Amino acid sequence: EDKVVQSPLSLVVHEGDTVTLNCSYEVTNFRSLLWYKQEKKAPTFLFMLTSSGIEKKSGRLSSILDKKELFSILNITATQTGDSAIYLCAVSSSLGYGGSQGNLIFGKGTKLSVKP
């Protein structure tokens, strides 16, 4: 059965700290891995990763994928209280002809709390 496992499930840090969130997966016909941020409402898209070793970066957030070891990390540097949220990792799989399977398989999320 396809699954996505995130760790840690919760994390408390102080402003200015750097955090690393982990996501491992077991999915048939892997296509892409996505990171979302959820703040008491709908998940908002952060990154999509399809190739190993290529870092995606947006401001203080960055992410990388390792398709050999089947995991991804999300790094947040110089954390701020506004980074407090649940970070969700999701994986997409492909159909035989390369099209998208459709549904995303989500992990349980990592709840990040940033203290002032």
Partner 1 sequence: DTGVSQDPRHKITKRGQNVTFRCDPISEHNRLYWYRQTLGQGPEFLTYFQNEAQLEKSRLLSDRFSAERPKGSFSTLEIQRTEQGDSAMYLCASSSRWEDTQYFGPGTRLTVL
Work out how close the CB of 77 gets to partner 1 at its nearest, in angstroms, rounded to a whole number. 24
Binding-site string for partner 1 from residue 13 to residue 42, where x marks contact by CB under 8 A and - marks none: ------------------xx-x-x----xx
Name the one range near partner 1 by CB under 8 A: 52-60, 65-73, 75-83, 84-92.
Answer: 84-92
SS3 for the chain, per residue?
CCEEEEECCEEEEECCCCEEEEEEEECCCEEEEEEEEECCCCEEEEEEECCCCCCEEECCEEEEEECCCCEEEEEECCCCHHHCEEEEEEEEEECCCCCEEEEEEECCCEEEEEEC
Applying CB under 8 A, the residues found at the interface with partner 1 are: 4, 31-32, 34, 36, 41-45, 48, 88, 90, 92, 99-100, 102-109
